[in-house]
Amino acid sequence: MGIHEQTQELSARAAPLMSRPDGTPYAATYDGDTLLLQAADAEESPSRWRLTRQSGQLKLEWTDTHSGMPDTAELLAALEASFTSCPDQHRLNLLAPVGQADELLRSGVLLRGENDQLVACTELFWQQPRIWLASPQPYAFPSFYVFSQGRRHPLRPPKPAGIVYQRHIPWLDRTLSFQAVNIEYDLERFSRWMNDPIVAQTWREKGNLLKHRTYLEGIAADPHVIGLIGCLDDEAFGYFEVYWAKEDRIAPFYDADDFDRGWHVLIGEPHFRGKPFVTAWLPSISHYLFLDDCRTRRIVIEPRSDNYKMIRNLTKCGYANLKEFDFPHKRAMLGMLLRERFFAERLWVPRDAAATSLSATPF
């Protein structure tokens, strides 16, 4: 079935994909092979694009010729909608007037192909922080080395506040976000999660509000760790700790690079546990960490070696099982995800979800 037939079948019942390039919300829907992009709160009619597949290659054409030319945010939204609709495709040919071509070529959003054809490559596009990060930095934080607890490592940038990452999940038709912990706002919920029997079995942090306030204040004061709340459509479902591995307890157990990252997770709301949600948040936390600093080449994780379900999920999302080792408090498995593998294999959509993503979206 071609794109035209797929989209005709689904356009009547599928919800729009939400995109937020450069902080500008767009809703993307299809009518046949026509992509309609509507900026949030815009009174004018949606702009029109056409996505087709010819000889196995995607072509995205801007057809709204009566309205001048698309701005950069609209172009980025159109590219995200196209690649999301066709997760098996590596690249597309772009036929559109581009006002910021030099800037987009320098950043890797676009390439020049044969006959000066503008081309977008999915492996490069999904490394663009401006699509998914709420406040992307225009440059990497400068390298300046310091010592903490006897370890030499780069000085880390200031911690973020508010939403740090947003991504529409087509197979859930919901927007996933990570936002920095606000202790006053999140403490009660965090404490309830820590006292959940399933969470407590792994985290071993049961206690009262005072204990959990002290815990979160310790995270806030630690330069190498950031506490995040995971949300789906603003409904909080879990807590994530992301860290710089060079300063972490994991560093002695492997050859940690200066910009390696790692993470821990708890899913506090029982109705958000299960495969459809894991396939949303697990690739997304990996994606966030790779976008947060372009120098991050590896992400590590150390679940209990007998947590077979978690290890299986990590494997499906590209993490290699390197070895088992002993922490003072547990026997752990060292898992590692390479940046090159994540983007080359398009692991933001896990393999078992990629086959169903088209049937869950209007694309």
- Give catalytic residues, as residue numbers: 302
DSSP bridge pairs for 52: 59
Q: Using CA atoms of 130, 133, 68, 110 in order, give the dihedral in degrees to the nearest 10.
A: 30
Apex CA 9: angle with CA 44 and CA 21, to 5°?
A: 40
Q: How far apart are CA 114 and CA 119, in angstroms?
A: 9
Query: What would the 3-class secondary structure string for 42-72 be?
Result: CCCCCEEEEEEEECCEEEEEECCHHHCCCCH
Cβ–Cβ under 8 Å, residues 248 and 226 = no
- The residue type of 148 is S
Whose structure tokens read 């390696």? Answer: 260
Alpha helix positions (H), the chain: 3-10, 72-85, 101-107, 122-125, 129-132, 183-194, 197-203, 209-221, 275-292, 308-316, 339-344, 351-357
Which of helix, strand or coil describes residue 299?
strand
The rounded Cα 78 to chain-centroid distance in angstroms is: 18
Q: How far apart are CA 349 and CA 353, in angstroms?
A: 6
Query: In a 10 Å sphere around its CB, with 0-12 CB exposed, 13-18 middle and 19+ buried, how is residue 101 labelled?
Result: middle
Q: How far apart are CA 201 and CA 310, in angstroms?
A: 14
Q: What is the CA radius of gyration of the chain?
A: 21
DSSP bridge pairs for 153: 146
Nearest to 229 by CA among 185, 274, 295: 185
Nearest to 180 by CA among 163, 158, 156: 163
Q: How far apart are CA 330 and CA 318, in angstroms?
A: 23
